Amino acid sequence: MLSTLKNAWKIPELRTKIKYTFLLLVVFRLGAMVPAPGIDIEIVRSIVEEAGLLAMFDMFSGGAFGNMTIFALSITPYITASIIMNLLTVAIPKLEELAKEGEEGRKKISQYTRYATVILALIQATGISVGLFRGALERPGAFNVIVLIMTLTAGTAFLMWLGEQITEKGIGNGISLIIFAGIIAGIPNGAINTFRLIRTGEIGVFNILIFLAIVLAIVMGVVAIQEGTRKIPVQYAKRVVGRKMYGGQSTHIPLKVNQSGVIPVIFAMSVMALPQTLTLFLGNESGFGRFVATWFSPNGTPGIFIYSILSAILIIFFTYFYTAITFNPVEVASNMKKYGGFIPGIRPGKPTTEYLTKVLNRITLAGAVFLATITILPMIILNFTNIPIALGGTAILIVVGVALETMKQVESQMLMRHYQGFLK
């Protein structure tokens, strides 16, 4: 990875993209330190520390939520809007047609996603202002509430723009990198708190060793699954076009064990945050708020187990869902048949589609179960070790997954420029 970055830095165009990406991430971190107007931060911090799910939300926002800054909502509304649009694309024929129209159709869907993001940000900001943190308002009043709502909504809209700019002009997926930067930003503070607790004897060295072993195992597992690929051999028959002969070569279709990357985990965490979002309107002391804190909280029992089971189910579902969107066995089989390709031992057409679907379902199940396991198992273990580093399986999965995907994009751009130089 370091070698790749070093080589990429030598290419002027890539160096510019890396600098641009880093600059926008710095803007994100600076914005995460600008407090929202009219809020008592100490009251907000006490509320966040009491609610386990809010602490996890604070981790993904890079501490912006716990400090109630202008980026307190983080990029979560955009992720939720993306989930909704992906589901509607499958359910509504008109949106499905737009998705198949190519670049123009995708631009239209992206526009709808932006509108949905602003609407969801308004809803969440209203819930925070008049619900969860209404007691933290220094000067309660309609005008101050409206200013706070507009500020938080504008912060999310700006983050969405930052993410899109990184994706378009920088390196990597902008939205994923913003989440990545938010998680990384919380590590130093968590490490300091951990060493402080070790010195006071509140946490044993054995617990730290368990934590480090879990982190190492997760990192190794994520790399293995992310890089794991099932290669389906494909043979192309020889055909004569005019005076030239085409085909006759052997190749393969790479089916990744984890075709969807970290997207299912991010989607699942966003859905699991919905009950907590509803409590923003009703308050933690309401009947619904106490029910969520007891049964859907990642801290304490029995909430930790129910939360983990539901998270696992959602991760498996979104893994299959996102894989079905990104890889279409019918289309692949049709293209193979069109150009004279076939899988040895499998007839072209429908048998090829059925074979690809069967293989894809099997390896996707392995990837989905792995994602669910490394997400919920460390969460349960760390819940009983009381280590104050908010870096469970979900965070490690996102950090490692985003790092690998970003490096692959860097390598692909380097390879593309290598071929361009060769052709010149």
Given this model, what pLDDT does residue 423 score?
A: 43
Residue 179 to residues 64, 199, 229, 266, 358, Cα–Cα distance (Å):
12, 31, 26, 10, 34
**Residue 397: inside a domain:** no
Q: Residues 357, 334: one domain? A: yes
Higher per-residue pLDDT: 424 or 239? 239
Do residues 154 and 8 both lie within one domain?
yes
* Alpha-carbon span 184 to 191, nearest angstrom: 11
- Between the alpha carbon of residue 371 and those of residues 246, 311, 319, 325, 368, the distances in Å are 42, 10, 9, 18, 5
For range 322-334, the mean pLDDT: 83
Q: Same domain for 229 and 129?
A: no
Task: Determine the 3-state secondary structure of 245 from DSSP.
Answer: strand
Q: Are residues 219 and 104 in the same domain?
A: no
**Assigned domain for 311 exists:** yes
Give me the CATH number covering residue 80: 1.10.3370.10
- Assess whether 89 and 209 both reside in one domain: no
**Is 151 inside any structural domain?**
yes
Same domain, 27 and 113: yes
Residues 181 and 213 in one domain: no
- Name, in order, each residue with C-beta under 8 angstroms of 235's C-beta and a sequence gap of 6 or more: 250, 341, 342, 343, 344
Give the integer Cα–Cα distance in Å for 10 and 413. Answer: 13
The total of structural domains in the chain comes to 2
User: pLDDT tens digit string along 349-372?
Assistant: 888 888 888 998 889 898 888 888
Range of the domain at 367: 200-391
Which domain-ending residue is among 162, 185, 208?
Answer: 185
Residue 422 lies in a domain: no
Is the domain of 342 the same as that of 214? yes
Q: Where are the beta strands (DSSP E) in 157-269?
A: 229-236, 239-241, 244-246, 250-256
- 329 versus 102: the higher-pLDDT residue is 329
pLDDT band at 119 (very low <50, low <70, confident <90, very high): very high
Write down the pLDDT at residue 124: 84
Residues 179 and 206 in one domain: no
Asked if 218 and 330 sit in the same domain, the reply is yes
Answer with the one of 185, 216, 244 that is the final residue of a domain. 185
Among candidate residues 185, 209, 233, the one where a domain is terminated: 185
Residue 174 lies in a domain: yes
Give a yes or no: residue 192 inside a domain: no
What average pLDDT score do residues 194-208 get? 76
pLDDT in tens, 202-255: 777 777 787 778 778 878 887 888 778 888 888 877 665 666 655 567 788 888
In this structure, are 272 and 348 located in the same domain?
yes
With tokens 């193979």, the residue in question is 336
Looking at per-residue confidence, does 383 or 311 come out higher? Answer: 311
Query: Does residue 43 fall inside a structural domain?
Result: yes
| Residues 136 and 205 both lie in one domain | no
Query: Is residue 413 domain-resident?
Result: no
Query: Looking at residue 246, what is its pLDDT?
Result: 58
Q: Is the pTM of this model over 0.85?
A: no
